[in-house]
Structure 1
């Protein structure tokens, strides 16, 4: 990976790109983002079947070690990813059984949600022109009351940094860096479980993002899937977020035949290389590239390549809208928003 500093890459964009909707920028993202700290000692997580959980508790750690090798999608910790330039995070969350604590997970349990939120807050206080998307899209062992409690926990820690929905929800073309910078929010939190929008006005629902899943263990099929979606403009027009997934998915047979191998070496390395080779000649914009998602983001110059293709952006006619109109609409809505 390049030695360039990407901790403030959004703040260093040309002015014209700060007026382009975020849905039309190329944004590097990580798949199963916070899995570098999966802990086999905590046992098999609740996203696995009951039979796998039972097997994991009765095999002296052998099963959990295999799960760790095939469930770890990132080797970089969250703060390192932010510093390296990652601005989209793909998150799975659970309430850990027999506790009241929320954890990130994928096969095994990872970090406590509350602890990482504090680190996220510090990063954005130190880098005030950066904006990130936290996409909480899978939940396990959580009742409606648990969702409320998690959202209040998030509000309590990073509420002042959340970008509110009011002012943007019906005019996503105005969700630009330039407009966001005029207000305190720097984190767009997308939550894929139903919640009370009146109670949590700074939480975005799942309708603002699409993420087609290639669902293949073949890098050739992966590239064909991406190329078809790109050339046939299968991305819907508009300003919502769209994820281009550069990840391969192991089947049961793949893992069974390679128990001593890992996701990183067996699938992620060829997939990330193939994805970078595919995306480097593409352009961001309507119908085109937006969020790019891979495993092990440090591979194959993924981050600098994705950030670099923003230079190929043609911009958007919406950037001609006056800042005065936006400011008037935003402030009218924002006056009614409470933390």
Structure 2
């Protein structure tokens, strides 16, 4: 697979005719389970995993851990690399480790990451400072092992870290031009009822998750959702595949990477047929796995050119 080319300033490079459209009508590339590239194979299982998996993990640790690692890893590029490739929606699953006396938070997908949440988000702020016209959507969710007191401390930290870059939930104009003028660069979605207390936080963003292991089944699910009509505001169409545990145990040489790669061509053709915009059947955020090796970013960003006014498209054809 050829690596995804850099699209690090694609928002500011969009045609000016699109600068006044709300972000909810643009096609935005996203990464599913963004931080799984730095999973710690020796960390505990997350609290929500089943008792059966916990037992197997104790008895057959040398067998289960490599299996968990290769099926829980959905990305292989750092968050800075994903930003520079054009990813603008980040699926961030936050948790506190069991029996950890520190206040450090980590990301999770079955197990925990090496990197803490704070050091990761500091690097995001640094990247945004170098790219002042790029806007990111950070979707924080799951929050295993986090009580209300920890939530409030974390939210306080987030507000201090992002400061004036945070776009408030009630912002009436979400166009690129307006966000640039206000200096807003971060839309922070927080999956908790505590968002009501903090105007800087956005509620959870709808994520269409098929929970299927083949591209055909994922596409059928996404088409069904699309035909029902788009949700209000931001929403995500997830291209990510999910393998059941029976499939995993019966296919020991497979991994989430091989499964994703083998289904990619079918998913790619489907993405190319999609259209952003305000139509009830249009899409907004499209997220996937292994967004570095697979050219999801350029595919999704290119969809925005379907939004250019017909007159400019006809003019282009005339000069051709």
TM-score above 0.5, yes or no:
yes
Query: Following the alignment from structure 1 to structure 2, what is the Cα–Cα distance between the partners of residues 80 and 300?
Result: 13
Equivalences, count: 303
Equivalent residues in 2 for 1:1-339, closer than 5 Å: 1=2, 4-99=5-100, 100-110=103-113, 111-166=115-170, 168=171, 171=172, 174-195=173-194, 197-198=196-197, 200-206=198-204, 209-230=205-226, 232=227, 234-236=229-231, 238=232, 240-266=233-259, 268-286=260-278, 287=280, 288-313=282-307
SS of match in other structure, 1:62: helix
Deviation at 1:3, TM superposition (A): 6.3
Change (3 A) 1:272 1:293: farther
Query: Following the alignment from structure 2 to structure 1, what is the Cα–Cα distance between the partners of residues 52 and 104?
Result: 24
Change (3 A) 1:81 1:159: same
Deviation at 1:60, TM superposition (A): 4.5
Query: Following the alignment from structure 2 to structure 1, what is the Cα–Cα distance between the partners of residues 236 and 122?
Result: 26
Query: Following the alignment from structure 1 to structure 2, what is the Cα–Cα distance between the partners of residues 291 and 272?
Result: 18
Deviation at 1:82, TM superposition (A): 0.4
SS of match in other structure, 2:29: strand
Deviation at 1:187, TM superposition (A): 0.8
Contact 1:28–1:85 (8 Å) recurs in 2: yes
SS of match in other structure, 1:36: helix
> What's the TM-score once normalised by structure 1's chain length?
0.84
Q: Deviations over 1:252-303 (max 9, x none)?
A: 111111234211112x113433222101122111220210011111244211
Match for residue 328 of structure 1?
Answer: none
Change (3 A) 1:233 1:122: same
Query: Following the alignment from structure 1 to structure 2, what is the Cα–Cα distance between the partners of residues 295 and 85?
Result: 14
Query: Following the alignment from structure 2 to structure 1, what is the Cα–Cα distance between the partners of residues 191 and 178?
Result: 25
Q: Is there any run of 5+ residues in structure 2 with no aligned partner, and where?
A: 310-320
Contact 1:10–1:130 (8 Å) recurs in 2: yes
Deviation at 1:203, TM superposition (A): 0.8
Contact 1:32–1:73 (8 Å) recurs in 2: yes
Contact 2:4–2:293 (8 Å) recurs in 1: no
Query: Following the alignment from structure 2 to structure 1, what is the Cα–Cα distance between the partners of residues 265 and 194?
Result: 38
- Higher mean displacement: 142-151 or 70-79: 142-151
- Higher mean displacement: 45-54 or 281-290: 45-54
Deviation at 1:54, TM superposition (A): 4.5
Query: Following the alignment from structure 2 to structure 1, what is the Cα–Cα distance between the partners of residues 107 and 46?
Result: 10
Query: Following the alignment from structure 1 to structure 2, what is the Cα–Cα distance between the partners of residues 270 and 26?
Result: 24
